[in-house]
Amino acid sequence: MTTENMITANMTTATEQNNRLNANHSNIQKKLMLSVDKLSIVTDAGVVLVEKLSYELTQGQTLAIVGESGSGKSIASLALLGLLPDSLTVSGEVQLADVTGMVTLPIANNKTRNAALRSIRGQRIGMVFQEPMTALNPLHTVGKQIAESLRISGVAKKQWHEKSIALLNDVNITDPADKLNRYPHELSGGQRQRVMIAMALAQQPDILIADEPTTALDVTLQHEILVLLDNLKRQHNMAMILISHDLNLVRRYSDEVIVMRQGQTIEQGPTAAVFGQPKAEYTRSLIKQDFGQALNLLDDESQQSTVLQVSNLQVQFPVEKSLFCGTKRWFDAVKDVDMILQKGQALGIVGESGSGKTTIALALSQLLSNQARVSGQIVVNGQDIFALSKRELRSFRSQIQMVFQDPFASINPRMTVMQIVEEGLLVQGVNKAERQQAVMDSLATVHLPAEFAQRYPHELSGGQRQRVALARALIMRPSLLILDEPTSALDSTTQVTVVSLLREIQEKLQISYVFISHDLKVVRALCQHIMVLKEGRCIESGRSEDVFNNPKHPYAQQLLQASVI
């Protein structure tokens, strides 16, 4: 089946799923699976992280918990499994269905909690964590990690291989026998997420907690994963708690919804009622997030200088090596891509997982490994960067800066914000007084208080860390800024703030952006031009509004359709 047909099928399946949701659930006996009454979580300092959260979960039901970063939605679910640090005080009552009726779980942090909840974790309540690359062990193969879950659930060793294949088939992974021998880094984002789901299903839980299961996935994969979870939930007669900040997905794939803010329950009820007639002003603001419009810079394009010109860019990675003959086979990650970008303009690059978006970003930044084979021409401010020596490239790098997808992974946790932001100037030999003043100016540009300079990354929220990463790039005064999924891990409220900030910086400093994202709302709100990638090729490009309003290529049409379903 072609990618286009698969996307169409997934969209059709999703639509049918939505239409059948109520009918399916009405046929399932409404057995109470979980009862949470006045769950509260408080820090040692007396800060309330979750306040009196209450809900009931029945068999076959999907309960969505939504809210911005720091609202308490994830820790409220971790508390059910006793996975919070002892420094947090947990109170309230949690009851789980058993053969004898409802059994109270010991959630309070005491010495007996871990032993008592050991049989609950995984076997009764399974969890799919937010970032599979972090949650999966990079040193073990997929097969070994699934086998560990099967061992815990009491499956005989001789059945591990057969059961693992069956589980990967259940989560729609192609060629499962091959994937069992692979390591997490050898899989795509969607495949890693499916492996996490397979590991959770291995122990046949009654309840599945999916914590932001689609955060870093492109729009078509998001729907695939949630359709998959909903189908698996019905097949196994499970109940599901879906934690997300993506209201579009929550609206389509849940029965009940809880809206949280700063630990409090702002609104709660059937999904259709909450979205149809939200009672709280905060809920209304979440539903009607306005990303604004991209700056109208198209009229003066002819007067602006060209910052970036790419011709026939090709990137290949080795996939098969021989001890004596060297590399025998290459994979074409990027094929004959051209692009041009004027000063102060923004180009959005979109496409599904594995389409080559990030590879292009790394090629533009000259950050690809030595094993990659790169050809074509990349000209930045009139300079062919492939013609630069290593020494010349080192000084030229200040003109091209990159902001990575995960700010917590890309900034050093042992350094203060001051040290992180000033690092580039330190390498260039700028004196201390000038460096510190430049840091303060850069923090002001990204709207961070001066006192944040002495904080460490773990003391900041996700949005604040992304601003630090942006300040680190801006302090070098680049003419080209490459942003790789800078808003994917942020809640919608923070996304709006970051997009507004990027627009402001674009207008004020006349910086050109290459903006890579799977979130088409964000691309439309920031970029004057757009390029759609598929399997390493540019299949459509042009002015953003032209492509959004009248896409020509069938794949572009389906990709844009998926974003608004």
The string of pLDDT tens digits covering residues 493-543 is 788 888 999 999 999 999 999 999 888 888 999 999 999 999 899 999 999
Tokens of 506: 């674009």
> Checking phi first, is residue 379 left (phi over 0); if not, alpha (psi -120 to 50) or beta?
beta
Q: What CATH number labels 298-305+343-359+383-564?
A: 3.40.50.300
| Residue 252, CA distances (Å) to 119, 136, 249 in order | 33, 28, 5
Confidence of residue 548 (pLDDT cuts 50, 70, 90): very high
* Pairwise CA distance, residues 120 & 105, whole Å: 9
Which residue did the predictor score with more confidence, 302 or 392? 392
Q: pLDDT at position 565, please?
A: 45
SS3 372: coil
Tokens of 198: 């397979």
Mean pLDDT, the chain, rounded, equals: 85
Q: What is the mean pLDDT of residues 175-193?
A: 85
Residue pair 550/537 in contact by the 8 Å Cβ criterion: no
Q: pLDDT at position 326, please?
A: 63
* Pairwise CA distance, residues 316 & 359, whole Å: 10
pLDDT tens by residue, 29-42:
578 999 999 999 99
Looking at 3.30.497.10, 3.20.19.10, 3.30.1130.10, 3.40.50.300, the CATH number of the domain 3-124+206-287 comes to 3.40.50.300
145 has pLDDT over 80: yes
Q: Which of 319-333, 387-401, 524-538 has the lowest mean pLDDT?
A: 319-333
Task: Please give the share of the chain, as a percent, with pLDDT higher than 90.
Answer: 45
pLDDT tens by residue, 93-125:
999 998 788 888 888 877 777 777 888 888 899
How far is Cα of residue 112 from the mean position of the Cα atoms in its chain?
36
Which residue did the predictor score with more confidence, 337 or 87? 337
Q: pLDDT at position 53, please?
A: 95
Q: Where are the beta strands (DSSP E) in 131-273?
A: 207-211, 239-244, 256-261, 264-270
SS3 371: coil
Q: Which of 129-133, 151-155, 270-274, 384-388 has the lowest mean pLDDT?
A: 129-133
SS3 181: coil
16 has pLDDT over 60: no
Return the closest-CA partner of residue 360 out of 410, 308, 321. 308
Q: pLDDT at position 322, please?
A: 62
Hey, how many other C-beta atoms are within 10 angstroms of the C-beta on 159? 11
How far is Cα of residue 289 from the mean position of the Cα atoms in its chain?
19
Q: pLDDT at position 319, please?
A: 74
Q: pLDDT at position 353, please?
A: 73
Q: pLDDT at position 300, please?
A: 63
8 has pLDDT over 80: no
* Pairwise CA distance, residues 194 & 175, whole Å: 13
Q: pLDDT at position 551, please?
A: 92
Where along the chain do the CATH 3.40.50.300 domains lie? 3-124+206-287, 298-305+343-359+383-564
* Pairwise CA distance, residues 317 & 185, whole Å: 14
